[in-house]
Amino acid sequence: SARYRICECAINLSNSYQRDQSQTQDALEQLQMYIEDFPGSDRIKDAEEAIDLLRLKLAQKDYETGRIYLKLEEYESALIYFQSVLSEYYDTPVSDDARIGIIFTHILNNNHRGAQNYLLSQNGRFLLEDRYNEAEMLIHNAETGLKLAQYYQLYR
């Protein structure tokens, strides 16, 4: 339909996650209005898949912004952006990255207890068990004094 083509144009105008996301927000709004206005359309599945991809892009934007603040040693700001990923985009693959980012932020800020408590609070919330195990190993390595160089590579 012509209305879905408008949505496709909005999607195509959406920038990569490294750039301004106002067009992405606009595309999301267009798609959500389309779904509300045409609930029986055969393009609903396409619209929902596009929404998932756009939300992933917004999650990546917040996550990468958190990483930038981490590099700048602005730990509170990093935590705000990592938390934003979890509150707004908890169902995206980036959510596990944000959880590990929060743990890593606590460790870099010499708050090992905060890292441990946070991990315990997130038990069962990681989308992938391997990522939970990675977070456990990160805390273990930090507590035993092993070098964080391999993890630091993630945040440089």
Region at 138 (left for phi over 0; alpha for psi -120 to 50; beta for the rest): alpha
Topology, domain 2-155: 1.25.40
Alpha carbon of 58 to those of 16, 72, 104, 153: distances in Å? Answer: 9, 21, 21, 23
Domain map of the chain by residue range?
2-155
* Residue-by-residue pLDDT tens, the chain, 156 positions: 787 888 787 887 787 676 767 888 888 998 999 999 999 999 999 999 999 999 999 999 999 999 999 999 999 999 999 999 999 999 999 999 999 999 999 999 989 999 999 999 999 999 999 999 999 999 988 877 665 555 555 555
CB 108 within 8 A of CB 141: no
Distances (CA, A) of 120 to 76, 84, 133, 135: 20, 19, 12, 10
